[in-house]
Amino acid sequence: MSVLAALSVAHLLNDLVQSMIPALYPLIKASYQLDFVQIGLITLAFQVTSSLLQPILGHLTDRRPWPYAMVVGMAASLLGLLLLAFAHSYGMVLIAAALVGVGSAVFHPEATRMARHAAAGRQGLAQGVFQVGGHAGYAIGPLLAALIVVPRGQPSLAWFSGVVLLAMVLMFWTASRYATFRRRQVAEAKDTHATTHAHRLPRRRIVFAMGILMVLLLSKNAYTASFTSYYTFYLIERFGVTVQLSQIMLFLYLVVGAFGVIAGGMLGDRIGRDRVIWLSILGTLPFALMLPYADLFWTGVLSVVVSLIIASAFSSILIYAIDLVPHRVGLVGGLFYGLSFGLGGICAAALGALADRIGIVNVFWLCAWLPAIGLLTVFLPRNTHRA
């Protein structure tokens, strides 16, 4: 648990730094007199390094694990943060965003592998503990940006270099513990390999199941993106609330998701991953369909329920995928943390373009049907992932 706690806190600090970049877009836009296309290029610079590099790095570290790479990656985030704090041109902003993305790309595959080794047979709980840090960091980052950086200006970003240094210390400690774990588990890993290989599904079915899982996660991320990117605009347009109230409601949505991650992981250990996937993604559907017709109070209640249920899916999807290819933990972590979230970002951009045409309220009505894609869970094999 000490290793899982350290990984969770490191995840919190890593995602806290990442989430501050989009929160600063209004400040950056005004400071450098940018248009929305240039703002989109900042997101692209971050996403290319953060999302697309993750599967590649995960594949490479599956062949030759390098736990201390997380420290090196976080050093790239530190450099990017300082560069962003003192950037004097738009080009420097792009480079800074890309460097912060590199830190994320290195962190997630290796940290996923470490969490699996530290699980002691409770993979759902381990992934839940690890992921709750990321959810918390993603929720806290924009608040800190609003409270500290926006009033004091872009140079105050440098204050958060201490956060990155703390993350590097935690990563160094967990990397040293992981090296010890690997030495102790060599014999056990060989036995596990033999057992897993004997019960392994045909390659074609594994590829098909991985494709289904990616689509399920993409639908989840696309629906979540409608909230993280446009929920405040929806509340303001539909109910005429203040910006402050809309931000508080968004914060509640994000925070509750952290509890859903833990609950989903623990439940998956008890009843099986496929059942949790059914409950979490498809179980969101009735509440999502009611939300566009609710008043302000029930919109808040339903959004919290939706966040709690849908957030429970990720740990089960990830562990299910790892169980399909247990010796490709880094690749799976890179795909599901990186590429799928990058595709979710593309969906967010597409939803924004659609909102310009039909309005944000209609977009939320259409997005309410996205959880129905959870019906694809019926095609997943049943014999690879029982707790």
- Between 64 and 287, the higher pLDDT residue: 287
- 226 and 167: one domain? no
* pLDDT higher than threshold 60 for residue 188: no
- Between 40 and 240, the higher pLDDT residue: 240
- 123 and 212: one domain? no
User: Does residue 190 sit within a domain?
Assistant: no
- 164 and 230: one domain? no
Which structural domain, as residue segments, surrounds residue 113? Answer: 1-184
At 106-137, the pLDDT tens digits run 887 777 777 777 666 667 677 777 777 877 88
- 240 and 357: one domain? yes
Rounded CA Rg of the chain: 20
* CATH number of domain containing 210: 1.20.1250.20
- Give the residue from 254, 85, 229, 64 showing the smallest Cα distance to 164: 85
User: Does residue 253 sit within a domain?
Assistant: yes
Work out the mean pLDDT of the chain and round it to a whole number.
79
3-state secondary structure 16-55: HHHHHHHHCHHHHHHHHCCCHHHHHHHHHHHHHHHHHHHH
Q: What is the pTM of this model?
A: 0.71
| Residue 302: per-residue pLDDT | 94
- Report the alpha-carbon distance of residue 110 to residue 329 in Å, rounded: 9
- 263 and 180: one domain? no
- 17 and 139: one domain? yes
- 20 and 111: one domain? yes
Which of residues 184, 211, 237 is at a domain's end?
184
Q: If you ran DSSP here, which 8-state letter would residue 335 be given? A: I
At 255-305, the pLDDT tens digits run 888 788 777 777 777 777 778 888 887 788 999 999 999 999 999 999 999
